Amino acid sequence: MRQSRLVLLAVASIGLLAGLCPLRAETGAAAATPLSVSIEDFSYLDTSGEVIDQTAAHQTRLDALMQKLRADVAAEPQYRLVAPTAPAGEARIKVIGGVQKMSTLIQWAKVAVIDVGASQVLYEKLYTFRGDTDEAWDHAAMFVSREVRAALAAALPPAQTAAAAPIGLAVFEFELEDTTAAPAAGLAGADAAKLADVTRGVRDQLAQSGRYRLVDTAGATAEPIKARALRDCGGCEATIARQLGADQSLIGVIRRVSRTEYTVGFQLRDARSGAVVSRGDSGLRMGADYSWTRGAVRLVGDRLLEGGAQR
C-alpha cells in the first residue's frame, strides 16, 4: 500500500505523453534515419524527513545523472537527441522519470520510455537503490542508462538493428593489485602467466558473443600500459582505445587480498567521450590464482553481456 506521489505522477505523465501524437506508420525512408529521442529532466522528491537540507546536493547529483544519460544516448549514431523544449512531435521517443528519497538509506526511481508516435510505453520500471552518495548515484546512473538504451534499441526497426555493426572494443591486459602484506617487487612470472590467461579468457568470451569486434592492443606503448597501471591513469585507456580505432575500452584488475582470496573488477568506457559505460566488481572470492580466469569470465558475462551494455 506504500504508493508514493512519485509513482502516481509518473503514471499520469506517461498517460499524458502517450497521447501527444497520433499513431503513424513507419516508412522505409524513416527506418534509415536516426531515432529522435527527447530525455525530459527527471523530478526529485525528498520525503525522508531528514533535518538537514540537501536540496543543492540532490540537484547536483540529479543533474549529473541526466548529463550521463543524455551523453550516452547521444553517443550512439542510431539516435538523434532532441531538446526537451522542442515542439511536440519533434521527438519520436520520450524518456521521463523521477527519483524519490524514502529514507536515509533508500531511494526509489521511476523511469519510462514512451513511443509517442505509436502511443506505447516501451519500458517502465520502479526500482530502488541504496544510499545517497556520489557513488550510489553513479551506480544508479549507469543502471538507468543501460536499461534505457536497451529499451531504445528495441524500438529500432528490425533492418536497422540487424545492420548495426559490432562494437570495436580494445580489451587491455588485466592488471594485478596485490594487497598482501609483502608483495614481491615487480610482477612475478607465475602471476604474469595467470593474468595472461585471464585476459585471453575474457577476450575470447567477448569475441564469441558477437556483440564486439576486438581491436588489437599490441601496438599500444603508452607508459601506463608498460607500467601495468591503466587502473590508476584517470581514464586514459579511453584515449588510447580511440587512437587504436576502437569504440570502447575495457580494463580489468585482479586484487589479491590474501594468498587464497581475491576480487575481480572491470571498467568499460566510451572511447569518444571517456564516459563509463559499465563496470563490475565481484566482491570477495575464495580461491588462489588458478580461479582468476573463471571469476573474471563469470563477472564479465553477468555484468556486461547479460547486463546488455551498448555503445
Q: pLDDT tens digit string along 44-99?
A: 999 999 999 999 999 999 999 999 899 888 888 889 999 999 998 899 999 999 99
The region, left, alpha or beta by phi > 0 then psi within -120 to 50, assigned to residue 308 is: left
Cell 588485466 sits at which residue?
174
Spatial separation of the C-alpha atoms in residues 157 and 250, rounded to whole Å: 29
Specify the pLDDT at position 81: 95
Q: pLDDT tens digit string along 197-247?
A: 999 999 999 988 878 999 999 989 999 999 999 999 999 999 999 999 999
Closest of 148, 155, 118 to residue 19, by C-alpha: 118
Share of the chain above pLDDT 70, in %: 83
The average pLDDT across 273-280 equals: 90
CA distances from 67 to 41, 71, 82, 133 (A): 10, 6, 14, 17
| Neighbour-count burial of 199, counting CB atoms closer than 10 A to its CB (0-12 exposed, 13-18 middle, 19+ buried) | buried
The whole-model pTM stands at 0.56
- Confidence category of residue 29, pLDDT binned at 50, 70, 90: very low
Q: pLDDT tens digit string along 165-178?
A: 688 999 999 999 98
Q: pLDDT tens digit string along 95-118?
A: 999 999 999 889 999 999 999 988
Cα–Cα–Cα angle for 260, 176, 304, nearest 5°?
Answer: 95
Does the pLDDT of residue 21 top 90, yes or no? no
Query: β-pairing, 212-214 with 175-178?
Result: unpaired
H helical segments located in the chain: 5-18, 28-31, 55-74, 134-155, 158-163, 189-208, 223-226, 236-243, 292-300
Specify the pLDDT at position 32: 57
Write 230-234 long-range contacts (CB < 8 A, 24+): 230/172, 230/175, 231/175, 231/177, 231/267
